[in-house]
Amino acid sequence: MQSITYTRADTPEAALAAFSNAGEGARYIAGGTTLYDLMKLAIETPLHLIDVSDLNSLDVIETEGDTLRIGAMTRMADVAAHPLIQSDYPVLAESLWKAASQQLRNMATVGGNLLQRTRCIYFRNGAGGISPCNKREPGSGCAAIGGLDRGQALLGASSACTAVFPGDWPVALLALGASVEVEGSNGRRTVPVAEFYRLPGETPHIEFSITPGEIVTAINVPKRPARNSTYHKVRDRESYAFALVSAAVVLEMQGNTVLQARVALGGVASIPWRATEAETELVGHPLTRTRALAAGRAAFANARPGQHNAFKLTLGPEVIADALMIAAKRIA
């Protein structure tokens, strides 16, 4: 049995110092709903755990000014239930309500949720050399290519990895143009959600644009008209399941005409995916079901399906179209 040391930090500065002192093999832990799973699968094998769940200064939702600032240690359920987020940013509330189970939402933090890793069966179930996975063991290969690929990516994949990004909340944040605030030994910096996640390329094990030791402190969402928004998620079962296809949609309308559209996708790509081709199809046009489906098809024009996931080429445009019609009908 591998021994693990454990430290609790009550400030970001204390957490950073503890990480520096612990050396190689240190990991931060907050809600633990992802890390504990990976430890049980022997994918993550930390030597030192630094508990940051007591960073109360990061357990806040600030609504003043031109930015909605959500502390990284705020629980998913608390963000989803916030009255302003429910009324003005339904895409955010819905992306959280449709994620995981109520028990997990009560435990998991929104900062930790950003850092969850793929649910690819070869990544999750292949520890110990059962199947090769470049994300788990760089250079070992990708068993999903030519294997069971129903849940693999159609967009953003590479010859080294086809794993799908599993999250809901980051997809909604991407649609709103949000950014992630991180703090490290070199100070504080802000990373747009659009740059926070890295395409797999030849280095699929490098998933995030943060360096070892940096800690997520907040999510900043620019205030923009977002009442005409939704997070629409289709899955194998109604609850506690990851997306087959999901769409986060934010519209600015004048009557029935789309003035601005922001569309992001989940369940189909290696990272949260901005569907700019769909947005181009929408802006300046009346929103009809026909137009919405055309936008959905445009989003998948460059998709590269495998053996078992081509059904998403049909399902995906329908999900986008449904999301657009739901968002458009909401009273801004």
- How far apart are alpha carbons 320 and 166 in whole angstroms? 18
Paired residues of 50 in beta bridges: 7, 28
67 CB-side CA count, 13 A: 13
Give pLDDT, residue 324.
98
Give pLDDT, residue 143.
95
- How far apart are alpha carbons 202 and 215 in whole angstroms? 25
Under 8 Å between Cβ of 230 and 93: no
- How far apart are alpha carbons 10 and 83 in whole angstroms? 28
Assess whether the region 5-52 and the region 229-329 belong to the same CATH fold.
no
Paired residues of 220 in beta bridges: 69, 179
Give the fold, CATH level 3, of 5-52. 3.30.43
* DSSP-based three-state secondary structure for 263: strand
Burial readout 21-37 (b: 16 or more C-beta within 10 A, e: otherwise): ebeeebbbbbbbbbbee
Q: Which residue has the tokens 């989803």?
A: 80
Given this structure, which CATH class describes domain 229-329? alpha beta
pLDDT tens, position by position, for the chain (332 residues)?
Answer: 678 999 999 999 999 999 999 988 999 999 999 999 999 988 999 999 999 998 878 999 999 999 999 999 999 999 999 999 999 999 999 999 999 999 999 999 999 999 999 999 999 986 666 789 999 999 999 999 999 999 999 999 999 999 999 999 999 999 999 999 999 999 999 999 999 999 999 999 999 999 999 999 999 999 999 999 999 999 999 888 999 999 999 999 999 999 999 999 999 999 999 999 999 999 999 999 999 999 999 999 999 999 999 999 999 999 999 999 999 999 76
Under 8 Å between Cβ of 20 and 185: yes
Give 291: exposed, middle or buried? Use CB within 10 Å, 0-12, 13-18, 19+: middle
Backbone phi, then psi, for 20, in 5-degree steps? -65, -40
Q: What is the DSSP letter of 164?
A: P
Distances (CA, A) of 222 to 13, 67, 180: 27, 5, 12
Q: Where are the domains of the chain?
A: 5-52, 229-329
Q: Which residue has the tokens 């809901």?
A: 168
Q: Does the pTM of the predicted model rise above 0.95?
A: yes
Backbone phi, then psi, for 208, in 5-degree steps? -130, 155
